[in-house]
Amino acid sequence: MTTVKNYLSLIKFSHTIFAMPFAMIGFFLGLRTKPGNGQWNLNRGIGSTELPATNESSLKTFVLVILCMVFARSAAMAFNRYLDRSFDAKNPRTAIREIPAGIISPNSALRFTIISCLLFVGACFFINRLCFFLSPVALFVILFYSYTKRFTPLCHLVLGLGLSLAPIGAYLAVTGKFSILPILFSLAVIFWVSGFDIIYALQDEEFDKSNKLYSMPSWLGKSKALRVSELLHGLSTACVVSAGFYGGFGAWYWIGVAVFIGMLIYQHSVVKPNDLSKVNLAFMTANGVASVVFAVFAITDIFLSNHPSWPVF
């Protein structure tokens, strides 16, 4: 049990709360897509939540999507901890992490990464052919992020790109097709995640500078980095609003949008260049509430509202 707890801590399992809700939005968008495009339809009638005859396949896909999320994120986090172990050991804020503290060995973390990658590809194999063929691309993106802080301050956007695969990946798992709507949600995730990752990186501005690591705060300074974060969160807001209009969502969705935007505004109101005492509150609490509440209201709207047939390509 202690070993399991240590590995859950290594991969910061609680941070799954950021991308998983958006994966659920993508999954239920796929199920709710009306027939006529060779896709599944969740409803027997408008407002019904009764699963159709494909419920067994839907449940299987749902479980596989969750497993893919868990395996992919576990691989990404473990690899990041493995690759950054020397930097983590020198940084007082991160020296207590499992690898520098000697709780988990580097080789064990690397083995955990490889096993998680294999399990991710295996889960994709059992979903559909497209997801299986795209699984190496997804792994490249999420693992490559760990290198980016060594050469570009755009590393935050690469992290956002990795997490943005959640909604479109879950949609592909259900439909096997691309669609504009889940892509809009993926864009929202890119800008949202990169924006709050910049806020989190404020804590290591001086450490990154002294160790020649790249981040927006170490490149631009705290004040300008926060302006960039605000811009990215503005773009994220534009994406969720655009998705709302494009998808013809109803009142439930817009309540979720209001909460999402409110949490973005809140985190920028409590984090200041000269006061980082509430960075963790902004990072974990505000963004956790933003993703979960937004997803709950968006999925409620997907179930209960009369949407037009969403096009695919």
CATH number at residue 203: 1.10.357.140
The reported pLDDT for the residue numbered 265 is 96
Indicate the pLDDT class of residue 309, thresholds 50, 70 and 90: low
Query: Residue 79: pLDDT above 50?
Result: yes
Does the residue 68 lie in any domain? yes
Does the residue 64 lie in any domain? yes
pTM: 0.90
Does the residue 309 lie in any domain? no
Does the residue 311 lie in any domain? no
Helix axes 180-201, 251-270, angle to 10 degrees: 20
Percent of the chain with pLDDT over 90: 76
**Residue 259's domain spans which residues?**
2-304
Split into its structural domains, the chain has a count of 1
What backbone phi and psi angles, to 5 degrees, belong to 275?
Answer: -150, 100
Does the residue 312 lie in any domain? no
Does the residue 226 lie in any domain? yes
Does the residue 310 lie in any domain? no
Long-range contacts at 119-125 (CB < 8 A, ≥ 24 apart) = 119/67, 119/71, 120/68, 120/71, 120/72, 120/75, 123/64, 123/67, 123/68, 123/71, 124/68
